[in-house]
Chains A and B, each alone.
Chain A
Amino acid sequence: MDSIKAPLPLHLENINKIHKKLNRKEWIRILSQPSKLLLVRDEKLPIEKKYTTNIQIKDESQIKLDVERSFHTISDESLRDQYKEYLYEILVEIFKKSQNMHYYQGFHDIISVFVIVFTDIKVLDDDNIIVELAIDKDVLVELAYNFSLLHLRDFLMDSLDFTVDQLRLIPFIVKVLDHDTYKKLNFKNCEMTSAISFVLTLFSHEDLNIEIVTRIFELVIVNNSIVVVLFIYALLIIELKGTLIKTYQESLDEFNDHSLLLNMVIQKHILIKINSFDWEDIFTKMDAIIKNYEKIKLCVNEFSVLKTSSMLHSQISYDQKELEELLVQESNLNIKNKHMSKNSQSLKMFVGAAKTSLILAVLAVSFKVVIDYYEYA
């Protein structure tokens, strides 16, 4: 699969390393399933092209802005521009495929990872470096589109409501894994906004080593659930508990907003340590949790990815049409909720509080296996 013909400059070695470690074939095999793609050996032209060129993209100007600011860690301008071009093309094609998807800032980071994974860098005889797609562009669009439908629908609504629902699960995961940390950091009634960029981008937005980022993507793909991202974030909090508790408690007097303080402390310390965590250890713990994890009924909306296409250990496979139908249903629910919340802010708050209690109750029962693991590990 690797088509790098000459040694790469040192700063690009990292990308080369990723390509060697990655199992692109596995990504393609799993993510092509909803399209029922019959992939030929070189992964080229297996699908019927159904895009039209004259479709207007709702958020095209925002996409342009974000693409322009992407791949900032690549110092070679020409190389960066080539990556940006692929990124823009793939993003536009994805949103042409579905008018029900709403672009969010951060989605471009996810597609950037797909671009890096499915391109090769070649050094030409004249020392120019070019980026080439390793698979047909239409196939890449299809894979990224399926990934979005399977795992990212909750985020691709036109509000953050269903994203916030997912973020609310993090404190409960922390509670189950480490009740003492949960208590000392006073997670109760705390919105986990510090996790938003990590969750919405599957850790691809921060300057985390791309090797680790692609491992996280692989974990999501192979386990077929985005819930692993929530677990990783919770595990990072537990990993840093000593520092977090100390900083949080020392700063309590200075901040009049406990929730904001907690988010600030967590965000700051995770970012400081982002490239020096023992990621292998985190992934090992992750595996153990997943193996011992029961099917649970999370209190998210009924069309959420966590209850359907991105549910851990689910044996149900969805085709693209079914996923698109789920997207429509979830979008309709989102619009209905937004309308409701405009009409009755107080009712929403009441429902939110009741919902949170319910999540707590459900999780407390459902995580029993996880708790057992941690007690006996």
Chain B
Amino acid sequence: MLQYKLVLLGDSSVGKSSIVQRFVKDSFDEQRESTIGAAFLSQTIKIKSPNKDNDQENDEDIAIKFEIWDTAGQERYRSLAPMYYRNANAAVVVYDVTAKDSLNKAITWVDELKSKVDDEKKLVISLVGNKIDLISSTNDINESANSPGRQVDLLDAENFAKEHNLLFHEVSAKTGKGVRDVFYEIATLLYKQKLEDDALNKKDTNENEDRSINVALSRPSTNDPTSCCS
């Protein structure tokens, strides 16, 4: 089983804990307490190998265990965040599609991750807009009158994600829409990264072995009776 550390970041009340709850327990609490400090949860999923030839377990599913750190959103808890994103393999940066400022906060988290994480290219970041259930369908006039409506333009968020090489999803923790995809996409990408790393390491090892053979061949053998060293 492969194990990965994942951290959830984002402004207060954007639904980080609800997303995790939907992913881990497939449930939703309308009355959810705020997170203080951070909460730890884990969840194991199975993904199909993206490349069967390289898959050591052949046709078997690949088990991926996420160790999830769900952090508090209030600004004062921000100073604790480095402890949770340090050595993380993935970060889910959450904003609320009905709260404009929450995208700005998400952007500051992405900037911080990009500047503070040692190997920025290895960290998989997924930008996630939550609460799409609160955006009423344009066909339903009655519903739209009571809905807070979309405050964050889909294209703005999507473009930001593209420019910064982030994964991007809009989800609803309440209905469950899109939540599963966030984590499966991250898992697949992390597994792909692992395969590439393994291949690279294998190549390096082979090259090193080749080099050491060449070196050995070019050195005069001490067992050679004709050698000058004998």
Contact = CB atoms under 8 A, between A and B. Distances in A.
Contacts of A259: 83
B188 interface: no
A205 B40 contact: no
Contacts of B67: 264
A105 B12 contact: yes
A9 B182 CA distance: 43
A104 B74 contact: yes
Nearest to A72: B31
A259 B80 CA distance: 13
Q: Give the residue among A105, A159, A256 with the most B Cβ atoms within 10 A.
A: A105
Contacts of A205: 33, 36
Contacts of B3: 254
Interface string B77-103: 101100110110000000000000000
Nearest to A158: B76
A84 B206 CA distance: 66
A104 B76 contact: yes
A119 interface: no
A201 interface: yes
Nearest to A191: B83
Contact of A159 (B31, B40, B73, B76): B76
B72 interface: yes
A133 interface: no
A102 B76 contact: yes
A69 B79 contact: no
A66 B34 contact: yes
Contacts of B35: 105
Contacts of A160: 76-77, 79-80
B28 to A, nearest CB: 13
Contacts of B130: none
A171 interface: no
Interface stretch (A17-25, A192-200, A274-282, A315-323): A192-200
Nearest to B30: A72
Interface string B14-32: 0000000000000001011
Contacts of B31: 69, 71-72, 80
A193 B34 contact: no
A197 B76 contact: no
A205 B76 CA distance: 17
B13 interface: yes
A268 interface: yes
Contacts of A263: 40
Interface residues of B, number: 26
A72 B29 contact: yes
A105 B74 contact: yes
A206 B31 CA distance: 14
Nearest to A102: B76
Interface residues of A, number: 33
Nearest to A108: B34
A193 B77 CA distance: 11
Contacts of A108: 34
Contacts of B113: none
B148 interface: no
A105 B3 CA distance: 31
Contact of A260 (B32, B34, B83): B83
A193 B37 contact: yes
B117 interface: no
B63 interface: no
Given A65-B12, A69-B32, A193-B38, A105 B83 contact: no
Contacts of B77: 105, 160
A266 B88 CA distance: 20
A201 B36 contact: yes
Nearest to A194: B37
Contacts of A267: 39-40
Interface string B106-118: 0000000000000
B36 A256 contact: no
A104 B76 CA distance: 7
A194 B38 CA distance: 8
Contacts of A158: 76
A105 B87 contact: no
Interface in A181-198: 191, 193-194, 196-197
A69 B13 CA distance: 9
Contacts of A34: none
Nearest to A80: B31
B76 A264 contact: no
Contacts of A105: 12, 34-36, 72-74, 76-77
Contacts of B73: 105
27 contacts: A62-B12, A65-B12, A69-B13, A69-B32, A69-B33, A69-B34, A70-B33, A72-B29, A72-B31, A72-B33, A104-B74, A104-B76, A105-B35, A108-B34, A159-B79, A160-B77, A160-B79, A193-B38, A197-B36, A200-B37, A201-B36, A205-B33, A257-B86, A259-B83, A263-B40, A264-B67, A267-B40
Interface of A: 62, 65-66, 69-72, 80, 102, 104-106, 108, 158-160, 191, 193-194, 196-197, 200-201, 205, 254, 256-257, 259-260, 263-264, 267-268
